[in-house]
Amino acid sequence: MRHIAIIGSGPAGYYTAEAAQKAFGEEVRIDIVDRLPTPFGLIRFGVAPDHQSIKAVARRYEKVALSGNVRFCGHVSVGQDVSIAELQDLYDAVVLATGAPHDRPLDLPGADLPGVYGSAAFVGWYNGHPDFAHLDPPLDGRHAVVVGNGNVALDVARILAKTEAEFAASDIAAHALAMLMAANTEAITILGRRGPHQIAMTPKELGELGRLERAAPRVDPADLPEAAADALLEPGMRKSVTSLREFAAIPEAFRADKPVEIDFDFFASPVAILGEGKVEGVRVERTALDADLRSIGTGETYDIPARLVVTCIGYRTPPIEGVPYEHGRGRFANDKGRILPGLYCVGWARRGPTGTIGTNRPDGYELVETIAEDIGDGGGKAGRAGLDALLEERGVRIVTFADWQKIDEAEIARAMKGRPREKFVSVEDMIAAHRD
């Protein structure tokens, strides 16, 4: 029997478990360990609450989770309840599928002012993540600045701009919805240090901004390249740039009926966060592109008022004591997923924060081929029984997938009409829900 422990219950973790099932059949036991009582990681806490169709991929993971040789071990903290070294002693393979849940820091003067948030924290706040449910973002100001030119930046801007009716079918956290509906936001600026041809925004997410009830996007036509240059772009990017051109052509009469403006400020790089004791603005330097399409500062600066700043500039995997780590790339040091004998990584923990949810599937299958090559028929380790004995000795009670299903049922039962669920936003409430 082969024993595999997967740390992290997000997409990378479940795709890896699925691949191991297919590779080893009944000759494998897989424990998926997560520090939270709820599975699915990024699907639950990272995907925008108004993107329920994307969250539906969790049904595929549920099928894996309900298999006889896969077990969800929730509410178990690696590094606190059990160490990596102990897991290596118990399992033939330990796979780190921890994702990249930490924000890359904004290394600018004033970045530590109250009112500056990384996207992991801000998205976690409106998605009901227990680590961020306590946040109190300042939504009393008229201006917000979002730094970044990817889909997360679009998510943040869209969530700030929506009406309550537009959240009707979402699972946005109740505390966040109440604050957003009381907000005074009138202007949202999306800063991008390069131009429209260098964005990382997909057509679907851009298209959504053009259909908001109370907000209209704005693009300065002067920032757009000659239309003929779009022919050199790959089809998806071409569609995205087409949306930007449509935003630039929106007539002012249409904007007059929209109280919120979402302004795309291209060729703009923040150089300082301004304010005394709180965020009051962002100093921005105008940029240009060099021959290699890298942004370079021009020396021209201007200030944008802001009460809230959300930085969507990337993520990093948190280091784990004793595990080699690449600080420059924000991921575990690895060679095609191998870290140390018996220790592996997959997904964003392996590659860094790149690709989509689906990108993790081939990554997981490729890693399992490596694991199969390394462990053969297994090394006769204790596996699940050994972990249970260790955790029982330490007074740690596992939250199983059946326990999660009780939490899930309780969240669905407490949802307002038309909404899929009302999340519990504290670990204590999650534990109480399944024990009750």
* Full domain range(s) for residue 11: 2-101+316-399
Distance between CA atoms of 364 and 18, rounded to whole angstroms? Answer: 8
Q: Residue 334: what pLDDT?
A: 96
Question: What's the pLDDT tens digit per position in 135-162?
Answer: 999 999 999 999 999 999 999 999 999 9
Q: Residue 384: what pLDDT?
A: 95
If asked whether residues 275 and 365 sit together in one domain, one would say no
Question: What's the pLDDT tens digit per position in 414-430?
Answer: 999 889 999 999 999 99
Q: Residue 231: what pLDDT?
A: 95
Predicted structure pTM score: 0.94
Assigned domain for 407 exists: no
Question: Cβ contacts of residue 386 below 8 Å, gap of 6+?
Answer: 89, 90
Total domain count for the chain?
Answer: 2
If asked whether residues 286 and 357 sit together in one domain, one would say no
* Strand blocks (E) in 184-340: 187-191, 215-219, 260-265, 268-274, 281-289, 295-305, 308-311, 315-316, 325-326, 331-332, 338-340
What are the C-alpha distances in Å from 38 to residues 176, 208, 263, 316, 375?
Answer: 20, 29, 37, 22, 30
Q: Any idea what the CATH number is for the domain that residue 65 is in?
A: 3.40.50.720
Structure token pair of residue 279:
């965020």
Q: Any idea what the CATH number is for the domain that residue 174 is in?
A: 3.50.50.60
Assigned domain for 326 exists: yes
Last residue of a domain, one of 287, 311, 335: 311
Segments of the chain with pLDDT less than 70: none
Q: Residue 60: what pLDDT?
A: 87
Q: Residue 355: what pLDDT?
A: 83
Assigned domain for 172 exists: yes
Q: Residue 328: what pLDDT?
A: 87
If asked whether residues 224 and 286 sit together in one domain, one would say yes
